[in-house]
Amino acid sequence: MPAAASQRHNHNADKAGALAAEGKDAHPRTKTQRVRAKAVEPVSSIGSIISANGTVDIGDSCVLEAQNSLLGTISGTTLVDQGGNLMGVEARLGPLADNGGPTMTHVPATGSPVLDHGAAAGCPATDQRGETRPTDADGDGTAVCDIGAVEFLDLCPSDPAKVMPGVCGCGVPEPGLCGCGVPDVDVAQANGMLDCFINAELKARIARAKAIMGSMAGDQDPNEAELGAIGGSFESYLTQHQGQVVLNGVEKKIMKLARKAAKTLTKVMKAKGKKVEKAKKKANKALDRFDATIAPQA
């Protein structure tokens, strides 16, 4: 039996010579796992995850005595079901990771069938990480050992989305690109840049304004409303994120340049006939100056 998958780590130590397990690690796996025994006496499994929804092949007419274990499909052996076993169900374990303790482990996920399903008799006082067991993992008011080497421990009982504090702590979603507690969204102007990237967002707005002007075919363009919204957002965005925008050493001028860029965009929208191209040229020049004051996103 894999040591990391067993509720009772040394239960089969006296039968170790009878087993030769194929595989590079001792953890439960979703791939086929084969355990072969040449001994006549039965192999015992108590509180173990022998196969995480895979195939267990115990050959040479071996007998497997199992109690409160999660077993894959049994073949090539005689199963002596001593009660409490789970057959043909997914273990629902987390990825192999450093969850504390001396070895890498798989922590059962919330709702895993192994929770509180281990053997009550002989349950060790700690799991493979050294954490106290048993705990009341399924919340029914009774603490029972989980099947496997790791006891489920909810360190964030008030947070239904997390059982471990992680990087950001309980009650705060784990960070994406924007960091702890900040959603990865692009809703401010939906320009393809996440709102949390302040400098990049400003630069994306400037680039979008220039793109709209570049595609304008005349003095009546369907994107004029968006162009106006972009220009009108420059000053308010800088005010909202004051102190967060990283500048190229010209802090006193940036607000003035933002107003100038917005003003030139308004003139583009009001221009008629041949004056449109002249207004666009001035607006592009003003946008370039504004953009040059904003440092690239770190």
Q: CA 110 to CA 43: how far, in whole Å?
A: 30
Query: Considering its fold, how many domains does the chain have in total?
Result: 2
Q: Which of 134, 153, 172 corresponds to the end of one domain?
A: 153
Q: CA 147 to CA 95: how far, in whole Å?
A: 17
Q: Are residues 2 and 149 in the same domain?
A: yes
Q: CA 80 to CA 33: how far, in whole Å?
A: 19
Q: Are residues 120 and 253 in the same domain?
A: no
Q: What is the pLDDT of residue 134?
A: 93
Q: Are residues 228 and 128 in the same domain?
A: no
Q: Are residues 49 and 140 in the same domain?
A: yes
Q: Are residues 122 and 1 in the same domain?
A: yes
pLDDT digits (tens), the chain, 298 positions: 343 355 543 333 333 223 323 223 334 443 444 455 455 577 788 888 876 544 544 544 578 888 999 887 777 778 899 999 998 788 888 888 888 889 999 989 888 999 999 988 878 999 999 999 999 888 888 999 999 999 998 888 888 888 778 888 899 888 888 888 888 888 877 778 888 898 999 999 999 999 999 888 766 667 788 999 999 999 999 998 888 888 886 666 888 999 999 999 999 999 888 898 999 999 999 999 999 999 998 7
Q: Which of 94, 119, 153 corresponds to the end of one domain?
A: 153
Using DSSP, state whether 6 is helix, strand or coil: strand
Residue 188: inside a domain, yes or no?
A: no
Q: What is the pLDDT of residue 244?
A: 86
Q: Are residues 239 and 136 in the same domain?
A: no
pTM: 0.51
Q: What is the pLDDT of residue 285?
A: 96
How big, in percent rounded to 5, are the helix, strand and coil portions of the chain? 30, 15, 55
Residue 114: inside a domain, yes or no?
A: yes
Full domain range(s) for residue 80: 1-153
Q: Are residues 149 and 202 in the same domain?
A: no
Q: 100: left (phi > 0), else alpha (psi -120 to 50), else beta?
A: left
Tokens for 101, please give them. 């303790």
154 Cβ contact partners less than 8 Å away, ≥ 6 residues apart: 110, 137, 163
Q: Are residues 149 and 226 in the same domain?
A: no
Residue 32: inside a domain, yes or no?
A: yes
Q: Which of 116, 138, 153 corresponds to the end of one domain?
A: 153
